[in-house]
Chains A and B, each alone.
Chain A
Amino acid sequence: MEKVIEAKSLTKSFGDFTAVNAITFHVEKGEIFGFLGANGAGKTTAMKMLIGISNPTSGEAKVAGFDVFKQRESIKNNIGYMSQKFALYDDLTVKENITFFGGIYGLSREVIKSKTQVLIKELNLEEVENQLVGSLPLGWKQKISFSVALLHNPKIVFLDEPTGGVDPITRRQFWEMIYKAANQGTTIFVTTHYMDEAEYCDRVSIMVNGKIEALDTPKNLKNSYKADSMNDVFLKLARG
Chain B
Amino acid sequence: MKLFYVFIKKEFYHIIRDRRSLFILLGMPIIQILLFGFAITNEINNVNIAILDHSKDVTTQNIINKISASSYFSIKQFIERESDIEKVFKKGKIKAVLIFENDFSKKLLKNSHATVQIIADATDPNTANTISNYINAIIQSYTQELNKDVVVSYQIIPISHMVYNPELKSVFMFVPGVMTVILMLVSAMMTSISITREKELGTMEIILVSPLKPIQVIAGKVIPYVFISIINATIIILLSLFIFKMPVQGSLILLGFENVIFIVTALAFGILISTISATQQTAMMISLMGLMLPVIILSGFIFPIESMPLPLQIISNIIPAKWFIIIIKGIMLKGVGITYLWKETLVLIAMSLFFIGLSTKKYKIRLE
Question: Which of B3, B17, B208 is in CB contact (< 8 Å) with A91?
Answer: B17
Mark the stretch among A15-23, A25-33, A74-82, A222-230 that contacts chain B.
A74-82
Within B74-97, the residues touching A (CB, 8 Å) are none
A136 within 8 A of B: no
Residue of A nearest to B205 (CB): A83
Chain A 125-141 near chain B by CB (<8 Å), digits 1 or 0: 00000001000000000
Sample 10 A-B pairs with CB under 8 A, ordered by A number. Answer: A76-B210, A76-B211, A87-B201, A92-B10, A96-B13, A101-B206, A103-B2, A103-B7, A104-B7, A104-B210
Write out the residue numbers on chain A whose beta carbons fall within 8 Å of the beta carbon of B5.
103
A196 within 8 A of B: no
Main secondary structure of the interface of A (DSSP, over half): loop
Q: Which of B2, B208, B211, B368 has the most CB of A within 10 A?
A: B211
Within B185-211, the residues touching A (CB, 8 Å) are 201-203, 205-211
A73 within 8 A of B: yes
Known contacts being A54-B367, A96-B10, A103-B2, is A91 close to B205, with CB within 8 Å?
no
Chain B 9-30 near chain A by CB (<8 Å), digits 1 or 0: 1100110011000000000000
Contact check, B208 vs A89: say whether CB atoms are below 8 A apart. Answer: no
Residue of B nearest to A100 (CB): B10
Write out the residue numbers on chain B whose beta carbons fall within 8 Å of the beta carbon of A53.
205, 208-209, 367
**13 more CB-based (< 8 A) A-B contacts, given A91-B14, A104-B3, A106-B211:** A53-B205, A53-B209, A73-B211, A77-B211, A79-B209, A84-B202, A87-B202, A89-B14, A91-B13, A92-B13, A96-B10, A101-B206, A103-B6
Within A68-113, the residues touching B (CB, 8 Å) are 73, 76-77, 79, 81-85, 87-92, 96, 99-101, 103-106
Write out the residue numbers on chain B whose beta carbons fall within 8 Å of the beta carbon of A77.
211
CA distance A52 to B213 in the complex (A): 13
Write out the residue numbers on chain B whose beta carbons fall within 8 Å of the beta carbon of A104.
3, 6-7, 207, 210-212
CA distance A99 to B5 in the complex (A): 12
Residue of B nearest to A103 (CB): B6
A221 within 8 A of B: no
Contact check, A54 vs B368: say whether CB atoms are below 8 A apart. Answer: yes
Contact check, B3 vs A51: say whether CB atoms are below 8 A apart. Answer: no
CA distance A104 to B3 in the complex (A): 5
